[in-house]
Amino acid sequence: MSPEALNSFFAILIGFALAGALTSGFQAFVQRPPGFGLLAQEAAPKAFAAVPFLVFAAPFIIMRNTVRGRTIEGRRVEFVALATIIAGFWSMMSGTFVLMLLETSGLIA
C-alpha cells in the first residue's frame, strides 16, 4: 500500500471517529440525536453555532440516516452506495483537516 493511500485511509478513519465522538457527546449532553435540523432553529446564533459541529459530525449523521432509511423505508441500494461515498469523502476531508491541525501544533510528526 502506498504512503498516500495509507494516509487517506487514516484520514477517513480519523474523520469517522471524530464524527462518532462528536455525535455521541452531543447525544449524551442533549438527550437527543443530532441532525441537520440544527440549522433550522429559530435563533440565528444557535444555527450559526451548529455549523462547525455539523461540518465534523456530518459523516456519522449521513450514515445513520442512510442506514435507517434503508431499513425503515427500504431505500434502494444505489442510494445507500452514493450516500456512503459522500460520507466517506466528507470524512476524509475532515480527517485530513484534523491531521493537518495536529501536525501544525506539533502533536504528531
pLDDT at 60 over 90: yes
Range of the domain at 36: 3-105
Tally the domains of the chain: 1
Identify the pLDDT of residue 75: 85
Q: Is 96 exposed, middle or buried (0-12, 13-18, 19+ CB in 10 A)?
A: middle
C-alpha dihedral sign at 18, 21, 102, 6:
negative
| pLDDT value for 29 | 94
pLDDT number for residue 45 = 81
pLDDT at 58: 95
Q: What's this model's pTM, rounded to 2 decimal places?
A: 0.86
